[in-house]
A and B are shown apart, each in its own frame.
Chain A
């Protein structure tokens, strides 16, 4: 009897541990906070003039804005650039570029070479502003509504599927 109870106990613990192992095996490794969150209405410097601009002021008639964090030294940013361009063609949507830890000359060269899809470009030379957005690095893309809720957050380069998803979301 005693042996049976301890056997059952060991068996249950082992299955419990195995279950956790298997569950974590198939779980998405990228950690994305579950709560959709608001961003604060912080002010960020404009890329050319260095003037401080507030995020809320970007909204005029548009319901949504896109914030795309990019950098000239970031290779995946080159991949996604075409998709950002496609998104920028949507009417009534502002696409804002946040230039992350970059040199002005290099960033300008990047835009000259690949085209400038952004309505407004902001700069974040120290990377501290992107922490206010909850960013991990470059590239990252956010869909934000008028109340500054983050509706969608893409970590890493966006692809054609994401492009369609964004189009559906904002139209």
Chain B
């Protein structure tokens, strides 16, 4: 039933019940073809929801007491109270540790943060990290955690009890490195490594160290409650309250390592400084290489420490096998000495010594070579995984509108890509790397981080070039290149974009043409995408090539649709081609043809949605089209249909917002809907409603601009919205506020226009601003520009009329 039909039906019911108010409702409704039980009382319809709302919502607090029985208090300190408890809900037997963290978390944002941190730890599933079983915040605002209970000794007690030798300690340290690397890869830092926070879990006589008590970085209000760690173990930067990273943990690990080596020899004392440690180790005859490892770990300058736990682990592994460590790579003497030591029989003969030294040096080099090979294989595997995540996941997440969750994958990917040595890559490796960079850039672009995106695309291009030089197959190379160029064109939003965009899009089209010559069966979607981008680009700069390019793009989709009329993706593409055609027609004054094309575009979009109902991207497309239809009708002064189209867009937008609440792009489009709705209300004379709509839009565009201030089109969007609000304020008599807003828009947009003088939209926005500010000279020049671009629209004309300016 359409809203109109319903309204009619309601009118009818209204009249009929006015006439005969004693009518029997059930029978009456049956006559209306309504079989549903009538609405009597809330509790008949939603008994479960009511129970859920009033009872279950608080179950979380009681959960704790229902589920666990406290056995004893283990510890009570400034930071937290810790209890040993048993699970008591009869599900299964398990002892756990319950930790109440001191401090109140009443404020929603603090709660949110605590829960986020908890989630972070919950995601760290590793045998070397204590498992979080449960946790929440009680009604009184007290956060609690339930952790796995590790029935083991503190690491130093373990070393003492079992009388571990140096090798045994090194083995434990290597296990710890593995855990730390795992944790650090996820950007989590422990911040309080010390013997008391490492328990050794002895399962089936295999000892494995487990990290407990992550220093959850509690923020109280805006003030960061610093976690200063433990005296003697904290790195200098942590004590000073500066930024900490994985190297801060490595410092503490170094102190811990030294402490364990001394413990082993019964010499552990309370150490308060890394220097004391060094001296004690000399006295205790700790092997020199390990002393150097510890010195490196406890260097004051983080840059002089090991860069990662993996690097330390690799050195410890070399030490175990008697190979030279990372820092004496280049010293032949050290290499020789170690080779000799590793193979004591060499020392039997002086002459043999030299021969062997040479022999083992060569062997060492070969060993390294072998290691390198392994590394490359591993690296390629990692690249593929990253690409899988960025490629397939991108498509799938786009369908549900949640590209934003790829942020952390992207960060790791960048980290990983940055570490690889280009000299070790073969052509397949280069192609993988190029793809990874391209995908990474695409995510950055989506997250409105254009600068990072551009840098990623540059790197991708370099790898593509290198792949070609290494003999890559054009069938692999060309589609990547075509896609890359399209992505690249989409981030060129700042200075110099006009020529650059045209260049990259032509490169993309050229690559696709070459590809289609080699393999006519390749997918033409990238060709269509590049062609459409180029069409829009020509239109934006009012270039003569526009018409041909638009026709060309529409032709591509028409050809494809003729062959596959039921293809959801080509229907989707077709709706976008038609949409572009409509814009072109709007630009050149064929408004009614534009509306016809938009309606056809909506039909195609609807069909593509019906074929692929899960894809939010397609629903988003549909909403955009309704938005534009509203705008077109508005331009055509058909206010009623315009309002209907926009309300349709808002409804679709509300639905999308429920399904993907954090999607910036959707948010922006939603804001456009409100913007148009505001304009319509304004024209209908309802200024208050208009102001309400505009303010919704303004809030969103302000947010988007703040997130990406280098993005000119975001600046322009913001300017347009500010102008609308200011104009309305002026009409409502708030002149001072309005003038201040106009001045702000001027300051925002003047530099954008100067950087991109040929962009007709930026110029138009600035023209309106200057007219509002009554700066006639500047306005005149912009007016000439607008006239040559055919951009003198109703807004401009109305302003000219208002100030009685008779410009030709």
A binds B: no
A residues with a Cβ closer than 8 A to B are: none
